Chains A and B, each alone.
Chain A
Amino acid sequence: MSETTSSPRLSDRMENARRGLTALIAEAGVARARRDEVAAVKDQRAGDGGTAVCAWNHFENIPTFYNWNNRPR
Protein backbone atom coordinates (compact mmCIF):
# COMPACT_ATOMS: atom_id res chain seq x y z
CA MET A 1 0.00 0.00 0.00
CA SER A 2 1.26 3.43 -0.87
CA GLU A 3 2.38 5.76 1.86
CA THR A 4 1.88 8.79 -0.33
CA THR A 5 -1.86 9.19 -0.01
CA SER A 6 -1.94 10.21 3.61
CA SER A 7 -4.08 13.12 4.67
CA PRO A 8 -4.12 15.90 5.67
CA ARG A 9 -1.68 17.34 3.18
CA LEU A 10 2.00 17.04 4.02
CA SER A 11 2.51 20.78 3.74
CA ASP A 12 -0.35 21.38 6.18
CA ARG A 13 1.12 18.93 8.65
CA MET A 14 4.46 20.69 8.37
CA GLU A 15 2.78 24.02 8.92
CA ASN A 16 1.07 22.61 12.01
CA ALA A 17 4.52 21.64 13.31
CA ARG A 18 5.89 25.14 12.65
CA ARG A 19 6.86 25.94 16.22
CA GLY A 20 8.81 22.75 16.77
CA LEU A 21 10.38 22.79 13.32
CA THR A 22 11.45 26.41 13.72
CA ALA A 23 13.23 25.59 16.97
CA LEU A 24 14.96 22.61 15.38
CA ILE A 25 15.96 24.62 12.31
CA ALA A 26 17.43 27.34 14.53
CA GLU A 27 19.46 24.78 16.47
CA ALA A 28 20.73 23.33 13.20
CA GLY A 29 21.84 26.81 12.11
CA VAL A 30 23.84 27.30 15.29
CA ALA A 31 25.39 23.86 14.92
CA ARG A 32 26.34 24.59 11.32
CA ALA A 33 28.09 27.80 12.33
CA ARG A 34 29.95 25.96 15.09
CA ARG A 35 31.10 23.40 12.56
CA ASP A 36 32.62 26.25 10.58
CA GLU A 37 30.92 25.07 7.42
CA VAL A 38 30.79 28.60 6.08
CA ALA A 39 34.50 28.91 6.74
CA ALA A 40 35.05 25.62 4.98
CA VAL A 41 33.52 27.03 1.81
CA LYS A 42 35.86 30.01 1.95
CA ASP A 43 38.82 27.72 2.55
CA GLN A 44 37.93 25.63 -0.47
CA ARG A 45 37.71 28.70 -2.64
CA ALA A 46 41.06 29.86 -1.30
CA GLY A 47 42.47 26.56 -2.45
CA ASP A 48 43.66 25.01 0.78
CA GLY A 49 41.29 22.10 0.61
CA GLY A 50 39.02 23.02 3.52
CA THR A 51 37.60 20.07 5.40
CA ALA A 52 35.54 17.04 4.53
CA VAL A 53 32.48 19.01 5.50
CA CYS A 54 29.92 19.57 2.80
CA ALA A 55 29.26 23.19 2.03
CA TRP A 56 25.87 24.05 3.40
CA ASN A 57 25.14 26.60 0.70
CA HIS A 58 26.48 24.42 -2.07
CA PHE A 59 23.75 21.83 -2.23
CA GLU A 60 23.70 21.08 -5.85
CA ASN A 61 27.38 20.30 -5.86
CA ILE A 62 27.94 18.61 -2.57
CA PRO A 63 31.04 16.50 -2.83
CA THR A 64 31.32 12.79 -2.56
CA PHE A 65 28.10 10.99 -1.80
CA TYR A 66 26.16 13.73 -0.15
CA ASN A 67 24.18 14.96 -3.08
CA TRP A 68 20.63 14.26 -2.04
CA ASN A 69 18.78 13.98 -5.30
CA ASN A 70 19.56 11.07 -7.59
CA ARG A 71 22.75 10.59 -5.62
CA PRO A 72 24.92 7.53 -5.92
CA ARG A 73 25.37 5.31 -2.90
Chain B
Amino acid sequence: MGDGTWSGMRGIATTPSYVVMQPTTLCNLNCSYCYLPFRGSDRRMPVSVARAVAGAVRPWARSGRFSVVWHGGEPLASGREHLLALLAEFDDDVEHHVQTNATLIDDAWCEMFRGRQIRVSVSVDGPAARNADRIGRGGRPAYDRIVRGIEALRRHDIPFSALCVVSRPAPGLAAELYAYFLDLGCDVLGINVEEQEGVNTRDNRHPAADVSGFWSEMVAAWRRDPRIHLREIEWTLRYAEAVLDGTADRVLPRELDPIPTVAYDGSVVLLSPELAGFSDKRYGDFVSGNVLHTPLADILDGAVTRTPWIGEFLDGVEACRARCPYFGFCGGGHAANRYFERGRFDVTETEHCRNSKIRLLEGVLDHVRDHQQPTAV
Protein backbone atom coordinates (compact mmCIF):
# COMPACT_ATOMS: atom_id res chain seq x y z
CA MET B 1 0.00 0.00 0.00
CA GLY B 2 1.50 3.29 -1.00
CA ASP B 3 0.99 6.60 0.71
CA GLY B 4 -2.00 8.60 -0.45
CA THR B 5 -4.42 6.09 -1.93
CA TRP B 6 -6.42 5.14 1.12
CA SER B 7 -9.95 3.85 0.68
CA GLY B 8 -11.32 4.11 4.25
CA MET B 9 -13.17 6.94 5.95
CA ARG B 10 -15.30 7.87 2.97
CA GLY B 11 -18.41 9.62 4.18
CA ILE B 12 -20.26 9.13 7.43
CA ALA B 13 -21.97 5.94 8.50
CA THR B 14 -25.68 6.19 9.23
CA THR B 15 -25.41 3.65 12.04
CA PRO B 16 -23.16 4.67 14.94
CA SER B 17 -21.35 2.22 17.18
CA TYR B 18 -22.03 4.33 20.23
CA VAL B 19 -23.71 7.49 21.43
CA VAL B 20 -22.38 9.99 23.94
CA MET B 21 -25.00 11.16 26.44
CA GLN B 22 -24.84 14.20 28.72
CA PRO B 23 -26.95 13.47 31.82
CA THR B 24 -26.01 16.87 33.20
CA THR B 25 -23.91 19.80 32.09
CA LEU B 26 -22.62 20.18 35.66
CA CYS B 27 -19.14 19.21 36.75
CA ASN B 28 -18.10 19.43 40.40
CA LEU B 29 -14.55 20.19 39.23
CA ASN B 30 -13.27 23.15 37.24
CA CYS B 31 -10.20 21.78 35.47
CA SER B 32 -8.06 24.43 33.80
CA TYR B 33 -7.99 22.69 30.44
CA CYS B 34 -11.67 21.72 30.25
CA TYR B 35 -13.44 22.55 26.99
CA LEU B 36 -17.02 22.44 28.32
CA PRO B 37 -18.86 25.77 28.38
CA PHE B 38 -21.72 25.08 30.85
CA ARG B 39 -19.98 22.98 33.46
CA GLY B 40 -20.92 25.37 36.26
CA SER B 41 -24.66 24.89 35.85
CA ASP B 42 -26.79 21.80 36.47
CA ARG B 43 -28.88 21.37 33.34
CA ARG B 44 -30.19 17.83 33.60
CA MET B 45 -31.28 15.51 30.86
CA PRO B 46 -34.96 14.65 31.20
CA VAL B 47 -35.98 10.99 31.00
CA SER B 48 -37.82 11.76 27.77
CA VAL B 49 -34.49 12.34 26.01
CA ALA B 50 -33.12 9.00 27.21
CA ARG B 51 -36.35 7.32 26.11
CA ALA B 52 -36.03 8.78 22.61
CA VAL B 53 -32.42 7.65 22.30
CA ALA B 54 -33.16 4.21 23.75
CA GLY B 55 -35.82 3.64 21.12
CA ALA B 56 -33.48 4.74 18.35
CA VAL B 57 -30.60 2.50 19.37
CA ARG B 58 -32.73 -0.61 19.98
CA PRO B 59 -32.31 -2.04 16.46
CA TRP B 60 -28.61 -1.15 16.41
CA ALA B 61 -27.97 -2.96 19.70
CA ARG B 62 -29.84 -6.02 18.46
CA SER B 63 -27.71 -6.29 15.34
CA GLY B 64 -24.34 -5.82 17.07
CA ARG B 65 -22.46 -4.45 20.02
CA PHE B 66 -23.67 -1.00 20.93
CA SER B 67 -22.54 1.36 23.66
CA VAL B 68 -23.83 4.43 25.46
CA VAL B 69 -21.12 6.60 26.94
CA TRP B 70 -22.35 8.78 29.80
CA HIS B 71 -20.24 11.89 29.71
CA GLY B 72 -20.86 15.35 30.99
CA GLY B 73 -20.16 17.57 32.71
CA GLU B 74 -19.48 14.98 35.31
CA PRO B 75 -22.04 12.22 34.78
CA LEU B 76 -22.01 11.20 38.44
CA ALA B 77 -22.95 14.77 39.37
CA SER B 78 -26.42 14.00 38.03
CA GLY B 79 -26.90 11.69 41.03
CA ARG B 80 -27.50 7.95 41.19
CA GLU B 81 -31.27 8.13 41.13
CA HIS B 82 -31.35 10.34 38.08
CA LEU B 83 -28.75 8.33 36.19
CA LEU B 84 -30.60 5.10 37.04
CA ALA B 85 -33.80 6.61 35.69
CA LEU B 86 -32.05 7.44 32.43
CA LEU B 87 -30.42 4.00 32.23
CA ALA B 88 -33.75 2.29 32.85
CA GLU B 89 -34.97 3.39 29.44
CA PHE B 90 -32.41 1.24 27.63
CA ASP B 91 -32.69 -2.44 26.75
CA ASP B 92 -30.37 -4.86 28.53
CA ASP B 93 -28.22 -5.52 25.46
CA VAL B 94 -26.92 -1.94 25.40
CA GLU B 95 -23.48 -1.49 27.02
CA HIS B 96 -23.07 1.44 29.34
CA HIS B 97 -19.90 3.36 30.10
CA VAL B 98 -19.10 6.37 32.24
CA GLN B 99 -16.20 8.75 31.86
CA THR B 100 -15.83 10.21 35.33
CA ASN B 101 -13.48 12.37 37.34
CA ALA B 102 -13.85 9.70 40.07
CA THR B 103 -14.28 12.22 42.90
CA LEU B 104 -17.87 11.18 43.62
CA ILE B 105 -17.33 7.42 43.47
CA ASP B 106 -18.19 5.72 46.74
CA ASP B 107 -19.46 2.29 47.77
CA ALA B 108 -22.98 3.04 46.58
CA TRP B 109 -21.77 4.07 43.13
CA CYS B 110 -19.60 0.95 42.95
CA GLU B 111 -22.60 -1.23 43.75
CA MET B 112 -24.49 0.49 40.97
CA PHE B 113 -21.62 0.04 38.50
CA ARG B 114 -21.47 -3.64 39.30
CA GLY B 115 -25.21 -4.16 39.38
CA ARG B 116 -25.74 -2.42 36.05
CA GLN B 117 -22.50 -3.71 34.51
CA ILE B 118 -21.38 -0.17 33.78
CA ARG B 119 -17.83 0.10 32.49
CA VAL B 120 -15.84 2.84 34.17
CA SER B 121 -13.14 5.11 32.87
CA VAL B 122 -11.56 7.66 35.20
CA SER B 123 -9.78 10.90 34.36
CA VAL B 124 -6.50 11.36 36.22
CA ASP B 125 -3.29 12.91 34.96
CA GLY B 126 -0.70 10.94 36.95
CA PRO B 127 0.75 11.53 40.40
CA ALA B 128 -0.52 14.41 42.57
CA ALA B 129 1.98 16.93 41.22
CA ARG B 130 0.83 16.21 37.64
CA ASN B 131 -2.80 17.00 38.50
CA ALA B 132 -2.40 20.72 39.11
CA ASP B 133 -4.97 21.46 36.41
CA ARG B 134 -7.57 19.21 38.03
CA ILE B 135 -9.08 21.48 40.64
CA GLY B 136 -12.38 22.05 42.40
CA ARG B 137 -14.60 25.09 42.10
CA GLY B 138 -12.71 26.78 44.92
CA GLY B 139 -9.40 26.14 43.18
CA ARG B 140 -8.27 23.40 45.54
CA PRO B 141 -6.55 20.34 44.09
CA ALA B 142 -8.91 17.45 43.44
CA TYR B 143 -6.29 14.73 43.52
CA ASP B 144 -7.08 13.32 46.98
CA ARG B 145 -10.75 13.00 46.07
CA ILE B 146 -9.85 11.36 42.76
CA VAL B 147 -7.72 8.80 44.55
CA ARG B 148 -10.45 8.08 47.09
CA GLY B 149 -12.85 7.29 44.26
CA ILE B 150 -10.36 5.02 42.54
CA GLU B 151 -9.69 3.26 45.85
CA ALA B 152 -13.41 2.54 46.05
CA LEU B 153 -13.29 0.94 42.59
CA ARG B 154 -10.36 -1.19 43.67
CA ARG B 155 -12.07 -2.13 46.94
CA HIS B 156 -15.00 -3.41 44.93
CA ASP B 157 -12.73 -5.12 42.42
CA ILE B 158 -14.21 -3.11 39.56
CA PRO B 159 -11.88 -2.96 36.56
CA PHE B 160 -11.37 0.49 35.13
CA SER B 161 -9.77 2.44 32.34
CA ALA B 162 -7.94 5.73 32.73
CA LEU B 163 -7.58 8.83 30.59
CA CYS B 164 -4.56 11.03 31.24
CA VAL B 165 -4.22 14.55 29.88
CA VAL B 166 -0.63 15.57 29.19
CA SER B 167 -0.19 19.31 28.83
CA ARG B 168 3.53 19.44 28.12
CA PRO B 169 4.74 16.18 26.59
CA ALA B 170 8.49 15.71 26.84
CA PRO B 171 11.01 12.98 27.55
CA GLY B 172 11.25 12.20 31.26
CA LEU B 173 7.52 12.41 31.81
CA ALA B 174 6.35 9.29 29.99
CA ALA B 175 8.16 6.75 32.17
CA GLU B 176 6.90 8.48 35.30
CA LEU B 177 3.32 8.40 34.04
CA TYR B 178 3.40 4.80 32.91
CA ALA B 179 4.83 3.66 36.25
CA TYR B 180 2.07 5.57 38.01
CA PHE B 181 -0.69 3.92 36.00
CA LEU B 182 0.82 0.47 36.52
CA ASP B 183 0.60 1.11 40.23
CA LEU B 184 -2.89 2.58 39.94
CA GLY B 185 -4.12 -0.71 38.52
CA CYS B 186 -6.01 0.42 35.43
CA ASP B 187 -6.61 -2.10 32.64
CA VAL B 188 -6.57 0.42 29.83
CA LEU B 189 -4.87 3.78 29.44
CA GLY B 190 -5.38 6.55 26.93
CA ILE B 191 -3.04 9.52 26.74
CA ASN B 192 -4.65 12.75 25.60
CA VAL B 193 -2.14 15.44 24.78
CA GLU B 194 -3.97 18.62 25.76
CA GLU B 195 -5.96 20.10 22.92
CA GLN B 196 -6.92 23.66 22.13
CA GLU B 197 -10.68 23.43 21.88
CA GLY B 198 -13.87 24.72 23.36
CA VAL B 199 -13.28 27.26 26.08
CA ASN B 200 -9.72 26.01 26.52
CA THR B 201 -7.59 28.34 24.42
CA ARG B 202 -4.19 27.38 25.85
CA ASP B 203 -1.47 26.99 23.28
CA ASN B 204 -0.88 23.35 22.34
CA ARG B 205 2.19 23.83 20.16
CA HIS B 206 5.21 21.88 21.32
CA PRO B 207 8.68 21.19 19.89
CA ALA B 208 8.45 18.14 17.65
CA ALA B 209 11.41 16.44 19.30
CA ASP B 210 9.84 16.80 22.74
CA VAL B 211 6.63 15.13 21.68
CA SER B 212 8.17 12.30 19.66
CA GLY B 213 10.64 11.83 22.53
CA PHE B 214 7.71 11.56 24.93
CA TRP B 215 6.07 8.86 22.83
CA SER B 216 9.32 7.02 22.26
CA GLU B 217 9.92 6.91 26.00
CA MET B 218 6.34 5.75 26.54
CA VAL B 219 6.92 2.79 24.23
CA ALA B 220 10.08 1.85 26.11
CA ALA B 221 8.31 2.07 29.47
CA TRP B 222 5.34 0.04 28.24
CA ARG B 223 7.61 -2.55 26.70
CA ARG B 224 9.30 -3.26 30.02
CA ASP B 225 5.94 -4.19 31.60
CA PRO B 226 3.08 -4.23 29.07
CA ARG B 227 0.33 -5.06 31.54
CA ILE B 228 -1.76 -2.08 30.48
CA HIS B 229 -3.61 -1.86 27.19
CA LEU B 230 -2.12 1.48 26.14
CA ARG B 231 -4.40 2.87 23.49
CA GLU B 232 -1.84 4.83 21.51
CA ILE B 233 0.66 2.00 21.34
CA GLU B 234 -1.94 -0.63 20.47
CA TRP B 235 -3.19 1.46 17.61
CA THR B 236 0.26 2.29 16.33
CA LEU B 237 1.36 -1.34 16.37
CA ARG B 238 -1.86 -2.43 14.75
CA TYR B 239 -1.12 -0.03 11.91
CA ALA B 240 2.53 -1.03 11.71
CA GLU B 241 1.60 -4.69 11.49
CA ALA B 242 -0.80 -3.95 8.65
CA VAL B 243 1.82 -1.92 6.78
CA LEU B 244 4.31 -4.77 7.04
CA ASP B 245 1.64 -7.29 5.98
CA GLY B 246 0.59 -5.19 3.01
CA THR B 247 -2.92 -4.75 4.46
CA ALA B 248 -2.65 -1.17 5.69
CA ASP B 249 -5.61 -0.02 3.65
CA ARG B 250 -7.90 -2.25 5.70
CA VAL B 251 -7.10 -0.58 9.00
CA LEU B 252 -9.38 2.42 8.74
CA PRO B 253 -13.14 1.98 9.05
CA ARG B 254 -14.85 2.25 5.68
CA GLU B 255 -16.89 5.22 6.91
CA LEU B 256 -16.52 7.67 9.77
CA ASP B 257 -18.50 6.83 12.86
CA PRO B 258 -20.97 9.70 13.37
CA ILE B 259 -20.56 9.51 17.20
CA PRO B 260 -23.78 11.33 18.03
CA THR B 261 -23.48 13.39 21.18
CA VAL B 262 -26.88 13.88 22.75
CA ALA B 263 -26.80 16.94 24.96
CA TYR B 264 -28.92 17.30 28.09
CA ASP B 265 -31.75 18.89 26.09
CA GLY B 266 -31.84 16.27 23.34
CA SER B 267 -29.88 18.24 20.77
CA VAL B 268 -27.50 16.17 18.67
CA VAL B 269 -24.01 17.12 17.55
CA LEU B 270 -22.15 14.67 15.36
CA LEU B 271 -18.49 13.70 15.09
CA SER B 272 -16.99 15.90 17.80
CA PRO B 273 -18.73 16.21 21.17
CA GLU B 274 -16.54 19.21 21.89
CA LEU B 275 -18.67 21.27 19.48
CA ALA B 276 -21.80 20.84 21.61
CA GLY B 277 -22.86 24.07 23.26
CA PHE B 278 -20.97 26.36 20.86
CA SER B 279 -22.18 28.51 18.01
CA ASP B 280 -20.53 30.40 15.22
CA LYS B 281 -21.76 33.09 12.84
CA ARG B 282 -20.84 30.93 9.90
CA TYR B 283 -21.86 27.48 11.15
CA GLY B 284 -24.67 28.20 13.59
CA ASP B 285 -24.89 25.93 16.64
CA PHE B 286 -23.39 22.82 14.98
CA VAL B 287 -26.55 20.90 15.93
CA SER B 288 -28.00 18.38 13.48
CA GLY B 289 -31.36 17.89 15.20
CA ASN B 290 -33.07 17.07 18.46
CA VAL B 291 -34.16 13.58 19.47
CA LEU B 292 -37.30 15.00 21.10
CA HIS B 293 -38.50 16.15 17.68
CA THR B 294 -36.78 13.88 15.14
CA PRO B 295 -35.80 10.20 15.41
CA LEU B 296 -32.04 9.83 15.79
CA ALA B 297 -31.88 7.61 12.69
CA ASP B 298 -33.48 10.38 10.63
CA ILE B 299 -31.07 12.94 12.07
CA LEU B 300 -28.16 10.77 10.98
CA ASP B 301 -29.64 10.11 7.54
CA GLY B 302 -29.98 13.79 6.79
CA ALA B 303 -26.97 15.15 8.62
CA VAL B 304 -24.62 15.69 5.69
CA THR B 305 -27.11 17.60 3.58
CA ARG B 306 -28.77 19.50 6.41
CA THR B 307 -25.73 20.41 8.53
CA PRO B 308 -23.43 22.58 6.42
CA TRP B 309 -20.32 22.24 8.56
CA ILE B 310 -20.36 18.47 8.12
CA GLY B 311 -20.05 18.77 4.35
CA GLU B 312 -17.12 21.11 4.83
CA PHE B 313 -15.58 18.65 7.28
CA LEU B 314 -15.86 15.84 4.73
CA ASP B 315 -14.01 18.08 2.27
CA GLY B 316 -11.35 18.40 4.93
CA VAL B 317 -11.11 14.63 5.28
CA GLU B 318 -10.60 14.35 1.53
CA ALA B 319 -7.90 17.03 1.70
CA CYS B 320 -6.14 15.00 4.40
CA ARG B 321 -6.46 11.88 2.25
CA ALA B 322 -4.91 13.65 -0.71
CA ARG B 323 -2.03 15.30 1.13
CA CYS B 324 -1.09 13.53 4.32
CA PRO B 325 1.13 10.42 4.38
CA TYR B 326 -0.23 9.63 7.84
CA PHE B 327 -3.84 9.42 6.66
CA GLY B 328 -3.91 5.61 6.70
CA PHE B 329 -2.93 5.74 10.36
CA CYS B 330 -5.07 8.67 11.42
CA GLY B 331 -8.12 8.80 9.17
CA GLY B 332 -8.14 12.59 9.00
CA GLY B 333 -8.00 15.39 11.54
CA HIS B 334 -10.84 15.56 14.02
CA ALA B 335 -13.60 18.09 13.44
CA ALA B 336 -13.22 19.94 16.75
CA ASN B 337 -9.47 20.29 16.33
CA ARG B 338 -9.86 21.74 12.85
CA TYR B 339 -12.47 24.21 13.99
CA PHE B 340 -11.03 25.33 17.31
CA GLU B 341 -7.45 25.53 16.06
CA ARG B 342 -8.02 26.93 12.62
CA GLY B 343 -11.58 28.20 12.42
CA ARG B 344 -12.70 25.96 9.56
CA PHE B 345 -13.41 22.30 8.89
CA ASP B 346 -11.80 21.92 5.47
CA VAL B 347 -8.27 22.60 6.66
CA THR B 348 -5.88 19.72 7.19
CA GLU B 349 -3.01 19.39 9.64
CA THR B 350 -3.64 20.52 13.21
CA GLU B 351 -1.49 20.65 16.31
CA HIS B 352 -3.54 17.72 17.56
CA CYS B 353 -2.55 15.77 14.44
CA ARG B 354 1.07 16.56 15.18
CA ASN B 355 1.02 15.82 18.89
CA SER B 356 -1.18 12.75 18.96
CA LYS B 357 -0.80 11.09 15.58
CA ILE B 358 2.27 12.15 13.60
CA ARG B 359 4.73 12.41 16.48
CA LEU B 360 3.27 9.28 18.08
CA LEU B 361 4.04 7.20 15.01
CA GLU B 362 7.41 8.87 14.67
CA GLY B 363 8.15 8.24 18.34
CA VAL B 364 7.43 4.54 17.93
CA LEU B 365 9.69 4.45 14.87
CA ASP B 366 12.39 6.29 16.81
CA HIS B 367 12.13 3.73 19.59
CA VAL B 368 12.42 0.87 17.13
CA ARG B 369 15.39 2.46 15.39
CA ASP B 370 17.15 2.97 18.70
CA HIS B 371 16.44 -0.59 19.87
CA GLN B 372 16.75 -2.53 16.61
CA GLN B 373 19.14 -5.43 16.95
CA PRO B 374 21.77 -5.71 14.21
CA THR B 375 21.22 -8.48 11.68
CA ALA B 376 23.03 -11.70 12.61
CA VAL B 377 25.82 -12.65 10.20
Contacts and interface: CB of A to CB of B under 8 A. Distances in A.
Q: Which of B256, B261, B325, B373 has the most CB of A within 10 A?
A: B325
Nearest to B235: A68
A3 B119 contact: no
Given A9-B3, A19-B375, A53 B238 contact: no
B334 A70 contact: yes
Contacts of A52: 119-121, 159-161, 186-188
Name the prevailing secondary structure of the B interface residues: mixed
A65 B186 CA distance: 14
Interface in A1-17: 2-4, 6, 9-11, 13-15, 17
Contacts of B235: 68
B257 A4 contact: no
Nearest to B212: A3
Contacts of B335: 70
B288 to A, nearest CB: 15
B117 A4 contact: no
Contacts of B248: 11
A67 B273 CA distance: 14
B47 interface: no
Contacts of A63: 18, 67, 69, 95, 97, 119
Contacts of B369: 17, 20
A60 B253 contact: yes
A42 interface: no
B244 A66 contact: no
A49 to B, nearest CB: 4
Interface of B: 1-3, 9, 17-18, 20, 64-67, 69, 71, 95, 97, 99, 117, 119-121, 159-161, 163, 186-188, 190, 192, 195, 208, 219, 223, 226-227, 229, 231, 233-235, 237-238, 240-241, 243-244, 248, 252-253, 256-257, 259, 261, 271-274, 323-326, 330-332, 334-335, 348-349, 354, 358-359, 361, 364-365, 367-369, 371-373, 375
Given A24-B368, A44-B95, A70-B272, 11 more contacts: A19-B372, A35-B229, A59-B238, A64-B69, A64-B97, A65-B69, A69-B256, A70-B256, A70-B257, A70-B332, A72-B272
